[in-house]
């Protein structure tokens, strides 16, 4: 298996370029991040070129304090589009593979209409080589978030029916509230753009908790999935001390 270090959670004590170099030294095959916007893109690009690691993805901004994305918020289209434009510019500048279009706290038909419209806008304006991702978040960590389940996400992707808009399947979120992680991975394989993981329920390293990631990773490999899996967990201390799972799988 190949693994991507999510630098939104791993090595957060370092600058983004240093975290990229550290991820390379630790044996990761790729990196991904959340909100890189305070780091000049040239510095990120230089670290990616130096290490040879691909940057798999980044997120649209969350919005005002307390918000968690703008793209499903009725009446906020100008800000949502600005967030999408910013993400496209940054992703293009560093050669990132995908943009996670964050929906935000909202509910109901107007929110769904706003999300669909903003996703169509994003797809129209995003270069073909950059995927757009939507990700359901579990209700314990993100109560009130618009996108809550993989079924809801799959229905939205079906309505859009646009290549290049895909599901971010985070095994942690699915494990927290939906269950049937492997069954859902298999059922949704055709629409998945990226897979992430963390222990359930604590969101720590994957060698703990109620979900057996040795089993899950083996099933993902059986699916023929060859892209790096995103280690998006909270190390609960020094990241270097949390990497026993990676060493044991190498
Ligand atoms: O929290 C997550 O799982 C995400 O992947 C994210 O991008 C930030 O919410
Ligand atoms: Mg995630």
Give the end-to-end CA distance of the chain in Å, rounded to a whole number.
9
Q: Enumerate the H helices of the chain as residue ranges.
A: 16-26, 41-51, 77-94, 109-125, 150-160, 171-177, 181-188, 213-222, 244-249
What was the ipTM of the complex prediction?
A: 0.97
Distance 159 CA to ligand 2 centre (A): 23
3-class SS string, 92-156? HHHCCCEEECCECECCCHHHHHHHHHHHHHHHHHCCCCCEEEECCCCCCCCCCECCCCHHHHHHH
Tell me whether strands 30-32 and 58-59 are parallel, antiparallel or unpaired: unpaired
Ligand 2 ion: residues within 5 Å (CB): 170, 196, 232
Residues with catalytic function: 135, 232
The structure tokens 């992430």 sit at: 196
pLDDT score at 60: 99
**What's the number of domains the chain is made of?**
1
Which of 101, 105, 137 has most ligand 1 atoms within 8 Å of CB, for mutation? 137
Distance 19 CA to ligand 1 centre (A): 18
- The answer, as to whether pTM is greater than 0.80, is yes
34 lines ligand 1 (CB under 6 A): yes
Taking the C-alpha atoms of residue 140 and residue 133, their distance in angstroms, rounded to an integer, is 21
pLDDT score at 250: 82
Q: Residue 193: give its domain's CATH number.
A: 3.20.20.150
- Cα distances from 189 to residues 44, 154, 172, 184, in angstroms, run 31, 11, 17, 8
Report residues of the chain scoring pLDDT below 50.
Answer: none
32 lines ligand 1 (CB under 6 A): no
Question: Mind listing the pLDDT tens digit for each residue in 23-72?
Answer: 999 999 999 999 999 999 999 999 999 999 999 999 999 999 999 999 99
For residue 198, give its domain range: 3-249
239 lines ligand 1 (CB under 6 A): no
Which of 10, 55, 100 has most ligand 1 atoms within 8 Å of CB, for mutation? 100
pLDDT score at 55: 99
**And the tokens for 6?**
């999510």
pLDDT score at 241: 98
Q: Whose CA is nearest to atom 6 of ligand 1?
A: 34
């Amino acid at each position: 298996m190949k693994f991507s270090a999510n630098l939104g959670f791993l090595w957060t004590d370092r600058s983004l370029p240093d975290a990229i170099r550290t991820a390379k030294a630790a044996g990761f095959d790729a990196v991904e991040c959340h909100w890189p916007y305070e780091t000049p893109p040239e510095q990120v690009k230089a670290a990616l070129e130096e290490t040879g690691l691909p940057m798999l993805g980044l997120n649209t901004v969350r919005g005002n304090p307390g918000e968690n994305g703008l793209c499903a918020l009725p009446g906020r289209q100008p800000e949502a589009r600005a967030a999408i434009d910013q993400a496209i510019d940054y992703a293009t500048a560093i050669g990132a593979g995908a943009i996670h279009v964050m929906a935000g706290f909202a509910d109901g038909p107007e929110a769904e209409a706003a999300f669909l419209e903003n996703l169509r806008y994003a797809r129209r304006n995003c270069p073909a080589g950059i995927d757009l991702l939507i990700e359901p978040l579990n209700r314990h960590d993100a109560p009130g978030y618009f996108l809550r389940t993989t079924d809801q996400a799959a229905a939205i992707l079906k309505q859009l029916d646009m290549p290049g808009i895909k599901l971010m399947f985070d095994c942690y979120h699915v494990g927290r509230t939906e269950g049937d992680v492997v069954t859902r991975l298999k059922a949704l394989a055709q629409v998945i753009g990226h897979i992430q993981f963390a222990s359930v329920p604590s969101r720590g390293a994957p060698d703990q908790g109620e979900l057996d990631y040795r089993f899950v990773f083996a099933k993902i490999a059986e699916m023929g999935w060859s892209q790096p899996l995103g280690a998006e967990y909270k190390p609960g201390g020094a990241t270097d001390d949390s990497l026993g799972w990676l060493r044991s799988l190498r």
